[in-house]
Amino acid sequence: MTVSDRLKKRRLELGLSAAQVGERVGKNKTTIYRYENGEIEKVPYSIIVPLAKALHTTPEYLMGWEEQNDDVMRQLEKDGHITPLSLSGTHKVPLLGTIACGNPIEAIERTGEFIDLSDAIKGDFALKCKGNSMVNARIYDGDIVVCRKQDMVQNGEIAVVLIDNDVTLKRFYWYEDAKVAILRPENPDYKEIQITAEDTVDVRILGKALTTIREVK
């Protein structure tokens, strides 16, 4: 798929109009359609980052970096279409226990381990994933998810959520009028979790997922 294909596919998956996406990135709907239809052949990298944020995905997904081989990536960098990530500084974050990408599991605990992150990634802690409920968000069993501590996320963002004594990783939605929280997987084989005001459970957001680290096998 091209960048244009991914932009359109992701927008439709979220049920957003071109106008809504345009509002989020400071462009009109005509420009968004031109990106999606390939009329603007090379979408500027400066707009890829806000587009990824508006579409609750990553620049890597929109650019299709995982589909590029090394020679193509080097050419993109040479042509100025992408900017290599600076690894000049690093910091350590704690690697906590396993988090469920499936059914919620017991609350996470510290493992005593740490991982090194580039300073470009503003993460506070990392978790190892177990399960396949988030595979369509490109989060797989065994991945390490880097997270930022925060107690709120925007609807549709991927959050680390505490449900009583269990923790899970899901897309989080809160509907104020109905007083309903929905934890939505990214795999049709798994059911979403709905929690209403009548449910006597404690629901808290522990952090927002930023990126994943995958072991090369």
Q: Structure tokens of 199?
A: 């449910």
What is the rounded CA–CA span in Å between residue 150 and residue 142? 24
Among 13, 3, 1, 2, smallest CA distance to 48 is for 3
Using left for φ > 0, alpha for ψ between -120 and 50, and beta otherwise, residue 126 falls in beta
What one-character-per-residue DSSP string does 110-154 give?
EEEEEEEEETTS--SEEEEEESSTTGGGT--TTPEEEEEE-S---
Out of 9, 170, 179, 208, the active site residue is 170
Assess whether 170 carries a catalytic annotation: yes
Work out the angle at residue 59's Cα, subtended by the Cα atoms of residues 56 and 65, and round it to the nearest 5 degrees.
Answer: 130
What is the rounded CA–CA span in Å between residue 129 and residue 141? 6
Q: Which residue has the tokens 């960098």?
A: 77
Out of 133, 149, 208, 217, the active site residue is 133
Cβ neighbour number for residue 118 with a 10 Å cutoff: 15
Residues labelled catalytic:
133, 170
